[in-house]
A and B are shown apart, each in its own frame.
Chain A
Amino acid sequence: MKKILILGLFVLATIGVNAQAYKVGDEAKDFKLKNVDGKHISLADYKDAKGFIVIFTCNHCPFSVAYEDRIIEIDKKYKSKGYPVIAINPNDPELYESDSFDNMIKRSKEKSFTFPYLIDETQEVFKRYGATKTPHVFILSNNSGKYTVEYIGAIDNNYKDASEVTSRYVDNAVDALLQNKKPEITSTKAIGCGIKTKG
């Protein structure tokens, strides 16, 4: 009986997580998370942003590291056009010391991140978004504080080698949105490190 109850709770918990995961077209909620500079950041702080490139990423994951320079490039290219990158580390640092807040500060300095690098301390934001790995991208459009999910997935089609990329999913999606069009590709599957959580 106890087993069935536990199983039931587990199933409910799983459904709960899935039900929360955003799909393309859903309205995304804002968040308030601590940045590496100690300040808290929300999407609402960006009054002029046409949208956001929210990227769940982290320090420890080689797939994330392989994409760091490309994330910086994307931010440089699109921030001025109204689509800044917001990077969020969703991992529980107790499970991965290299993803601690101090190590996030260190990494953002080493790589001179041009974008905020936020810590999802309560691990609620990644669950609400339905991020499952790092890196995992959610592109949001901003219509006077109403955030719509426009794209979910990978950054491009070559995790190993930026020079071999032939499809820039994020660039293409943002370019389309900047022309008031819907992205041609709205979702892709990305390889990545499963997000580390205790519960």
Chain B
Amino acid sequence: MKIRLQLLLFLALLLSIKLAEAQEIKTYNFNELEPIFHHQNDTTYVINFWAMWCKPCVEELPEFEDIRKDYSNQKVKVILISLDFGKNVTDRLTKFLERKDIHARVILLDDPDADSWIGKVDKNWDGALPATVIYKKDIREVFTRQISYDELAKSIDNLNKKMN
């Protein structure tokens, strides 16, 4: 009986650690989100538009996660903007990210009037997923397709070189 109780406590502890690890996913409309495309500081922002059902998006997620880890000692911020929608979307997203071991910050964009904001992200983006914006201050680069780790790294390194 005592052992069982201990086991139960242990499991409860494990569960609470697991829950503490899971990030809380915030839902924004585009107006609330827009400032993250215009920060004027010395951080390089890597912002990716994706969705759970988008195969190339999911394929490239680990590349973003690796960038986040490998550049953690530099001023680089990776933000993943999910366009998922439907029932229990934040729960599904949380579980998905846990399963894929993705710890980059994820924001849910819920703003169905897409024509009103796609052009504000970048004039060269026409709304097809996936898409990635990499910027530091006023210099930015946009990839309107699947991107690799090497391309991400090169783009970040170039930005850092240009800005220094």
Contacts and interface: CB of A to CB of B under 8 A. Distances in A.
Contact of A161 (B54, B55, B112): B112
A191 interface: yes
B55 A191 contact: no
Contacts of A188: 115
A110 interface: no
Interface stretch (B17-25, B38-46, B125-133): B125-133
B1 interface: no
A61 to B, nearest CB: 8
A1 B126 CA distance: 33
A61 B53 CA distance: 8
Interface string A31-63: 000000000000000000000000000001110
Contact of B116 (A157, A160, A192): A157
Chain B interface, >50% SS class: loop
Interface residues of B, number: 23
A189 B55 contact: no
A159 B112 contact: yes
A193 B129 CA distance: 5
Given A157-B116, A159-B112, A189 B53 contact: no
A133 interface: yes
B115 A154 contact: yes
Contacts of B113: 157-158
B62 interface: no
A178 B144 CA distance: 35
A133 B128 contact: yes
B67 to A, nearest CB: 21
B115 A193 contact: no
Given A62-B86, A132-B128, A194-B145, A95 B55 contact: yes
Contact of A62 (B53, B116, B126, B127): B53
Interface in B29-74: 51, 53-56
Contacts of B129: 133, 191-194
A190 B83 CA distance: 13
A195 B128 CA distance: 8
Contact of B51 (A62, A66, A153): A62
Contact of B115 (A66, A96, A164, A190): A190
B115 A157 contact: yes
6 contacts: A66-B85, A96-B55, A132-B127, A154-B114, A158-B112, A189-B119
Leading 8 A-B pairs by shortest Cβ distance: A133-B128, A191-B114, A189-B118, A194-B128, A160-B112, A188-B115, A158-B112, A191-B127
Given A133-B127, A158-B112, A189-B127, 19 more contacts: A61-B53, A96-B55, A154-B114, A160-B112, A169-B115, A189-B114, A189-B118, A189-B119, A190-B127, A191-B114, A191-B118, A191-B127, A191-B129, A192-B129, A193-B54, A194-B128, A194-B130, A194-B144, A196-B55
